[in-house]
């Protein structure tokens, strides 16, 4: 994972994950894990009971994001990508570094929060 995101890590573009936990759920693969940034290295672990951001989708959805064939907004509004988390984490365009702009349901209000590219 660190090799795949090496350029982003070197550029400091994943700093928004510092002291944060992001859960990733790949629903059709029954895969659930957490990701955090520790000493400028991504660390994967078991799904956290309390996460700052949770992203859920199918293998195909994550492939679309990874290959940039679709952006997170499109997948979110098509209900192919579910995102739940705190709005501070997604403001300022941070999820863009993970593939694209994002719209997220704020955990505290349920309101849709969008970030600019």
The pLDDT value given to residue 58: 97
Q: Domain 6-114 adopts which CATH fold?
A: Nonspecific Lipid-transfer Protein; Chain A (3.30.1050)
The pLDDT value given to residue 66: 84
Provide the pairing of β-strand 31-38 with 41-46: antiparallel
| DSSP single-letter state for residue 30 | T
Domain spans, the chain = 6-114
Which structure tokens are listed for 110?
């349920």
- Are 87 and 115 contacting, i.e. CB atoms less than 8 angstroms apart? no
Radius of gyration of the chain measured on its C-alpha atoms: 13
- Are 71 and 99 contacting, i.e. CB atoms less than 8 angstroms apart? yes
One digit per residue, the tens of pLDDT, for the chain of length 117 reads 899 889 989 998 888 888 899 999 999 999 999 999 999 999 999 999 999 999 999 999 999 988 889 988 888 889 998 988 874 555 444 444 454 333 344 444 444 444 333
**In the Cβ-directed half-sphere of 41, how many Cα atoms lie within 13 Å?**
5
């Amino acid at each position: 994972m660190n090799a795949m995101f090496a350029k982003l890590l070197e550029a400091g573009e994943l700093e928004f994950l510092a002291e944060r936990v992001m859960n990733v759920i790949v629903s059709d693969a029954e895969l659930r894990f957490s990701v955090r940034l520790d000493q400028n290295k991504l660390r994967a672990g078991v799904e956290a009971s309390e996460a700052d951001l949770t992203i859920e989708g199918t293998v195909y959805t994550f492939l679309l994001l990874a290959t940039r064939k679709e952006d997170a907004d499109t997948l979110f509004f098509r209900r192919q990508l579910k995102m739940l988390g705190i709005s501070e984490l997604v403001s300022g365009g941070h999820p863009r570094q993970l593939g694209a702009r994002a719209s997220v349901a704020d955990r505290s209000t349920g309101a849709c929060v969008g970030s600019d590219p």
